[in-house]
């Protein structure tokens, strides 16, 4: 048995002698002559991707096994698929699906030859990443892969850690590769350890950061009130590039197809090359853009305070949709070819994007600044510190629930949002994960509700109003507060959590048992 390599791979090899063997594979008799395997020919496997969410399809390749040998491929201790090597001892592009109940953290993928016992192992990391404000560029704010916290155990959430910044946090956190990224009113972007809350790095911009970061391909993007979009190395915080707009950026960037797209207070929507920051296109609306863009099916949708929902071609910026509503500070969400967006006229709208038709409008109790979340045929929305759930197809009310202990507060204009932080309007957008809806409130609390019934399940208090939108990833719930702190919640505070699969040992080959019912995959 060889020890783990620097790439997280372990190896086992037993030298062959020349032999004539008959294998019974899937009911077929296969006879082959096997040459001795050189001592240097140590089996190896490739795994792609090396990290992703539960339910993802993983592709395995192998080399330097015995010729024409049956190879069992395991996820942890479960035999998933059966491959057969070619005359050179290799197999290519055999795939299986990671179990949907695979917990976040480290797992092992193992390939073992049935005849010679030769094998190789590689780490696979399960992660339910939340990469940007809308979860994905389409803005649905639904983590469909979360499998730790559910409606059955959410009441056990407790503070795992609290991390401080130098000022208020209205930015919503991104959770990627074990790191939490969030902006602060102290002009800095922070990176914290997702498990411990330790500060990994911070990077300065020219003004407050109200924009939420987006992380893609090793880079974290965020807007600043200095009017610039920043790109930082996600591991080190080193500045990669900046790109200027004409006013403060409180819109949160969306990253799609090699472009990073963001709105600006100058009323223009910008697209930049995600690698270099080079301008790709820009297009003006007739009002300020606080809304964050949603990207789906080759189009970009964004709101403007000119009262319009806009749609643009994602590759050119050419306008294809303008629907007059009222002030649109809400960020759109796109699901099943419908655009959902809130308006300052107290209504949530469902819009057919190609013809620009309003399919339905659902009334709420106040102006809508929050972004909607869409999951399992339901649209969730925070308006005036009330959480609403509407049928996504018809707009019929499913349920509503108050998310404030004290609704008495002085009204603010939209203009005050940009000039008088910490903000006290209902900007916190719902996050949906594993049957639970999370949302922050101006009463300093974060709340969790049953996504189906609206039953209150859990709440926790921070030190000030919550404008930041919650993020749910890898069994943790993260949210910023106007008290300048980022809060992380986990089951039992994260103590002795079964899902903290770190530094796991690979299973011994001797403990892995082939499933002889498996058929050879092609």
Q: Distance (Å, rounded) from C-alpha 116 to C-alpha 259?
A: 49
pLDDT digit string, tens, across residues 77-105:
999 999 999 999 999 999 999 999 999 99
Residue 522 lies in a domain: no
pLDDT digit string, tens, across residues 8-21:
444 444 433 333 33
User: Are 287 and 167 within one domain?
Assistant: yes
User: Are 359 and 295 within one domain?
Assistant: yes
Range of the domain at 26: 9-127+501-511
Residue 136 lies in a domain: no
User: Are 54 and 193 within one domain?
Assistant: no
Mean pLDDT across 37-49: 81
Give me the torsion for CA of 392, 335, 290, 447, rounded to 10°: 60
* Residue 475 near residue 178 (C-beta atoms within 8 A): no
Question: Is the previous residue joined to 155 through a cis bond, with omega within 30 degrees of 0?
Answer: no
Report the chain's mean pLDDT, rounded to a whole number: 89
Residue 274 lies in a domain: yes
User: Are 422 and 355 within one domain?
Assistant: yes
pLDDT at 500: 63
* Residue 84 near residue 68 (C-beta atoms within 8 A): yes
User: Are 80 and 155 within one domain?
Assistant: no
User: Are 159 and 59 within one domain?
Assistant: no
Helices (H), 287-332: none
Whether the pTM exceeds 0.75: the reply is yes
* Residue 50 near residue 62 (C-beta atoms within 8 A): no
Backbone angles phi, psi at 156, to 5 degrees: -85, 0
Q: Distance (Å, rounded) from C-alpha 340 to C-alpha 427?
A: 16
pLDDT digit string, tens, across residues 340-372:
999 999 999 999 998 899 999 999 999 999 999
Q: Distance (Å, rounded) from C-alpha 307 to C-alpha 44?
A: 59
CB atoms within 10 A of CB 172: 32
Domains held by the chain: number: 2
Residue 454 lies in a domain: yes
User: Are 164 and 193 within one domain?
Assistant: yes
CATH of the domain at 20: 2.60.40.1930
Give rounded-to-5 percent helix, strand, coil for the chain: 5, 45, 50
* Residue 401 near residue 386 (C-beta atoms within 8 A): yes
Secondary structure E strands in 26-126: 28-34, 44-48, 51-52, 57-63, 70-75, 78-84, 91-97, 105-113, 119-126
Q: Exposed (0-12), middle (13-18) or buried (19+): which is 346, by Cβ within 10 Å?
A: middle
CATH of the domain at 292: 2.130.10.10
User: Are 107 and 178 within one domain?
Assistant: no
Residue 493 lies in a domain: no
Q: Is the pLDDT of residue 412 over 90?
A: no
Give me the residue label for tokens 């016992």.
117
Assign 414 to helix, strand or coil. Answer: helix
Residue 518 lies in a domain: no
* Residue 372 near residue 348 (C-beta atoms within 8 A): yes
Q: What is each CA distance from 503 to 1, 8, 125, 362, 408, in whole angstroms?
A: 18, 10, 11, 49, 50
User: Are 243 and 340 within one domain?
Assistant: yes
- pLDDT band per the 50, 70, 90 thresholds, residue 40: low
* Residue 260 near residue 242 (C-beta atoms within 8 A): no
Nearest residue to 45 (alpha-carbon basis) of 58, 62, 57, 59: 62
Q: Distance (Å, rounded) from C-alpha 26 to C-alpha 35?
A: 24
pLDDT at 522: 62
User: Are 196 and 117 within one domain?
Assistant: no
Q: Distance (Å, rounded) from C-alpha 36 to C-alpha 31?
A: 16
User: Are 377 and 277 within one domain?
Assistant: yes
Give me the torsion for CA of 198, 217, 467, 484, rounded to 10°: 30
Q: Exposed (0-12), middle (13-18) or buried (19+): which is 425, by Cβ within 10 Å?
A: buried
pLDDT digit string, tens, across residues 269-328:
999 999 999 999 999 998 999 999 999 999 999 999 999 999 999 999 999 999 999 889
Kindly state the percentage of the chain with pLDDT values over 70.
Answer: 86
User: Six-digit token pair at 69?
Assistant: 């040998």
Q: Are strands 9-12 and 19-25 parallel, antiparallel or unpaired?
A: unpaired
Helices (H), 361-501: 414-419
CB atoms within 10 A of CB 424: 18
pLDDT at 499: 55
Q: Is the pLDDT of residue 408 over 60?
A: no
Give me the torsion for CA of 73, 79, 83, 89, rounded to 10°: 40
pLDDT at 505: 87
Residue 519 lies in a domain: no
Give me the residue label for tokens 């930015």.
171
Q: Distance (Å, rounded) from C-alpha 167 to C-alpha 119?
A: 53
Q: What is each CA distance from 155 to 102, 210, 230, 388, in whole angstroms?
A: 22, 30, 38, 21
pLDDT at 72: 97
pLDDT digit string, tens, across residues 424-455:
466 899 999 999 999 999 999 999 999 999 99
CB atoms within 10 A of CB 154: 21
Give me the residue label for tokens 């100058």.
266
Quote the distance between the C-alpha of residue 368 and its chain's center.
24
User: Are 78 and 123 within one domain?
Assistant: yes
- In the DSSP assignment, the letter for residue 169 is -
Residue 495 lies in a domain: no
Q: Distance (Å, rounded) from C-alpha 44 to C-alpha 12?
A: 9
Backbone angles phi, psi at 414, to 5 degrees: -60, -35
């Amino acid at each position: 048995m060889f020890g783990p390599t620097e790439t997280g791979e372990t190896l086992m090899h037993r030298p062959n002698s020349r032999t004539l063997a008959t294998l019974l594979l899937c009911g077929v008799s296969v006879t082959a002559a096997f040459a001795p395997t050189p001592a240097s020919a140590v089996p190896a496997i490739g795994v792609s991707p090396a990290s992703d969410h539960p339910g993802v399809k993983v592709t395995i390749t192998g080399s330097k096994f015995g010729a024409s040998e049956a190879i069992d491929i395991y996820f942890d201790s479960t035999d998933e698929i059966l491959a057969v090597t070619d005359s050179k001892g290799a197999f290519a592009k055999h795939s299986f699906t990671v179990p949907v109940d695979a917990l976040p953290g480290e797992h092992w993928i193992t390939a073992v030859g049935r005849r010679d016992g030769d094998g190789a192992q590689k780490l696979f990391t399960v992660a339910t990443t939340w990469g940007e404000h809308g979860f994905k560029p389409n803005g649905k704010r639904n983590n469909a892969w979360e499998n730790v916290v559910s409606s059955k155990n959410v009441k056990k959430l407790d503070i795992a850690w609290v991390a401080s910044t130098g000022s208020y946090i209205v930015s919503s956190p991104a959770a990627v590769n074990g790191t939490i990224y969030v902006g602060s009113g102290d002009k800095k972007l922070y990176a914290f350890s997702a498990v411990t809350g330790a500060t990994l790095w911070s990077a300065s911009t020219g003004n407050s950061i109200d924009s939420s970061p987006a992380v893609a391909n090793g880079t974290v993007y965020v807007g600043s009130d200095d009017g610039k979009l920043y790109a930082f190395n996600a591991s080190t915080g080193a500045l990669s590039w900046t790109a200027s707009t004409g006013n403060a950026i409180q819109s949160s960037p969306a990253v799609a197809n090699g472009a990073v797209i963001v709105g600006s207070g100058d009323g223009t929507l910008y697209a930049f090359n995600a690698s270099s920051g080079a301008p790709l296109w820009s297009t003006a609306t007739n009002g300020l853009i606080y809304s964050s863009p949603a990207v789906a099916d080759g189009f970009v949708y964004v709101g403007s305070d000119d009262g319009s929902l806009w749609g643009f071609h994602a590759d050119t910026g050419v306008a294809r949709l303008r629907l007059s509503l009222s002030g649109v500070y809400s960020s759109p969400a796109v699901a099943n070819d419908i655009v959902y967006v809130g308006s300052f006229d107290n209504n949530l709208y469902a819009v057919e994007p190609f013809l620009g038709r309003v399919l339905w409008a659902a009334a709420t109790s106040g102006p809508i600044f929050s972004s909607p979340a869409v999951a399992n045929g339901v649209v969730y929305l925070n308006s005036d510190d009330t959480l609403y759930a509407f049928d996504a197809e018809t707009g019929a009310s499913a349920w509503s629930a108050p998310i404030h202990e004290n609704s008495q507060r002085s009204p603010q204009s939209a203009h005050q949002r940009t000039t008088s932080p910490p903000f006290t309007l209902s900007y916190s957008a719902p996050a949906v994960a594993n049957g639970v809806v999370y949302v922050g409130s101006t009463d300093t609390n974060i709340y969790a509700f049953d996504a189906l019934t609206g039953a209150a399940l859990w709440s926790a208090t921070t030190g000030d109003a919550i404008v930041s939108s919650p993020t749910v990833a890898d069994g943790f719930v993260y949210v910023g507060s106007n008290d300048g702190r980022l809060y992380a919640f986990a089951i039992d505070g994260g103590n002795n959590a079964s899902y903290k699969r770190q530094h796991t040992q690979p299973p011994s080959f001797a403990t892995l048992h082939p499933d002889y019912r498996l058929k050879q995959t092609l």
